[in-house]
């Protein structure tokens, strides 16, 4: 997945080029300010377009030829856009669209660097190739924690790769949300999907707490819910994928959930309908997450291959291992809570 061994080991190789130019004010040319309308090129574009039409070219051809008057970056961006409009982009069999995911990165990196000031620890514990399962605690109503785990890996891992997330089925009934989810690597949370992805040697991220975790009230923050029926352990055992426990701290404060409206949840078919100090009171503003301070720690991987796939049949062993993973994550969560100190500063 676009990994380049041997590039500068800092993980910065992953950053898309446009970001560097835009975020660095020094790169702006003297005499121009960002967002200035390029009058010169626009005029010569129109002139060439007119000339093309006069000489009898068709509209798209004339437009295209006039395009050569535009600056290089604009032409590249235009070409990328046209490529996508012609259907010339790659989606894998799951509908994952790496170009689309890359395009979202600048926004997510802003949240990562500025908004939540995320500190990522132990990214090297994630295997750089082959199958593996990330198991994380889940909080914060909307799955921002999943995006930050992803960005953390892309930024801090020497051989970055995109993780595939198991997403609550409800998201796939929704317009736009369903499309965005699958394009950034989300799949329906089904054991069949997890098995298939791991057999394809992908990195799969799961939140065994599920909707219970994301929707827990603010006063129960950082206390991990029950890990379902341990299905994720069964899948890891069956495919021999190592389990990497991931502790996320900071996600609980982004939307402090103080209440619930079950009637509204039933009405829209959602697993829960949260009430926070800002939602739904402030309308769409309520979607803006609070700028808490985050820490993400990737723990030591737990090898499962040595138990063999038969171990997946052993209920008590599965529960035991599931509990062991839960405890590992819970301990890391507490440690990082202490490390972080104040929630917002």
Partner 1 sequence: MGTEIARRLETDPEIDYLAGLDERPPRARLERMDFIEADIRNPVIAKLIPQAEVDTIVHNKIIRRPGPGMSGRSAHDINVIGSLQLLAACEKAETLRSIVVRGSAGVYGSEPSAPQFFTEEMARRYPLRTRFQRDVAEIENYFDTFSRRHPQVVCTMLRYQPSIGPALNSQITRLLSQPIVPTYLGFDPRLQFVHELDAVDALVAAIKNPVRGPVNVAAPGTIGLTKLVRMAGKPTLPLLPGLFGPVTDSTQRLGIESLSADFRRLLRFGRGIDITRLVEEVGYMPRFTTVQAVEDYVRTQRGRRLVPVFREAVAS
Which range in 43-51, 189-197, 203-211, 315-323 contacts partner 1 by CB under 8 A?
A: 189-197
Cβ 172 to partner 1 shortest distance, Å: 4
- The answer to whether the bond into 280 is cis (omega within 30° of 0) is yes
13, 15, 67, 334: which one binds partner 1 (CB under 8 A):
67
Binding flag, residue 42, partner 1 (CB under 8 A):
no
Local structure of 305: helix, strand or coil? helix
Q: Does 239 bind partner 1 (CB under 8 A)?
A: no
Asked if residue 89 binds partner 1 (CB under 8 A), the reply is yes
Residue of the chain from 7, 23, 27, 190 that contacts partner 1 (CB under 8 A): 190
When the beta carbons of 26 and 72 are compared against partner 1, the nearer one is 72
Q: Which stretch binds partner 1 (CB under 8 A): 94-102, 112-120, 236-244, 327-335?
A: 94-102
Q: What strands, in cross-sheet order, belong to the sheet with 164-167?
A: 119-121, 295-298, 243-249, 132-136, 203-206, 164-167, 186-188
Q: Are 164 and 205 in contact (CB under 8 A)?
A: yes
Determine if 173 is a binding residue for partner 1 (CB under 8 A): yes
Nearest-5° angle of CA 145, CA 139, CA 117? 45
The pair of structure tokens assigned to 252 is 């609980």
The answer to whether residue 79 forms part of the interface with partner 1 (CB under 8 A) is: yes
Q: Is 342 left (phi over 0), alpha (psi -120 to 50) or beta?
A: beta
Among 16, 20, 36, 192, binds partner 1 (CB under 8 A): 192
- C-alpha span between 171 and 174 (Å, rounded): 6
Structure-token match 């369903």, residue found: 178
Q: For binding to partner 1 (CB under 8 A), which residues are involved? A: 58, 60-65, 67-68, 75, 78-79, 82-89, 91-95, 97, 169-170, 172-176, 178-179, 182, 187-188, 190, 192-193, 196
């Amino acid at each position: 997945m676009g990994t380049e061994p041997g590039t500068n080991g800092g993980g910065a190789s992953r950053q898309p080029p446009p970001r560097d130019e835009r975020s660095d004010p020094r790169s702006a040319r003297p005499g121009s300010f960002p967002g200035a309308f390029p009058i010169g090129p626009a005029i010569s574009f129109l002139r060439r377009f007119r000339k093309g039409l006069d000489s009898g070219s068709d509209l798209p051809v004339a437009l295209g030829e006039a395009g050569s008057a535009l600056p290089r970056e604009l032409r590249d961006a235009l070409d990328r856009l046209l490529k996508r409009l012609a259907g010339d982009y790659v989606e894998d069999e799951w509908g994952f669209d790496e170009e689309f995911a890359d395009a979202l990165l600048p926004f997510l990196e802003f949240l990562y660097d500025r908004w939540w000031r995320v500190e990522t620890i132990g990214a090297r514990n994630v295997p750089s190739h082959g199958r593996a399962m990330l198991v994380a605690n889940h909080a914060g109503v909307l799955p921002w924690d999943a995006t930050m785990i992803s960005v953390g890996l892309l930024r801090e891992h020497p051989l970055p790769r995109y993780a595939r997330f198991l997403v609550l089925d409800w998201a796939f009934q929704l317009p736009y949300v369903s499309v965005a989810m699958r394009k950034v690597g989300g799949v329906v949370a089904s054991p069949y999907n997890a098995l298939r992805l791991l057999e394809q040697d992908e990195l799969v991220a799961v939140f065994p707490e599920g909707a219970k975790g994301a929707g827990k009230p603010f006063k129960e923050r950082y206390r991990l819910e029950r890990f379902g029926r341990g299905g994720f352990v069964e899948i890891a055992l069956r495919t021999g994928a190592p389990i990497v426990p991931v502790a996320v701290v900071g996600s609980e404060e982004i939307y402090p959930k103080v209440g619930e409206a079950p009637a509204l949840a039933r009405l829209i078919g959602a697993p829960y309908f949260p009430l926070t100090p800002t939602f739904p009171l402030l309308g769409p503003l309520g979607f803006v997450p609070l700028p808490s301070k985050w820490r993400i720690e990737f723990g030591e991987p737990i090898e499962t291959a040595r138990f063999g796939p038969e171990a997946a049949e052993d209920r008590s062993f599965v529960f035991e291992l599931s509990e062991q993973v839960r405890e590992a994550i819970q301990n890391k969560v507490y440690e990082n809570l202490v490390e972080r100190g104040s929630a917002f500063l």
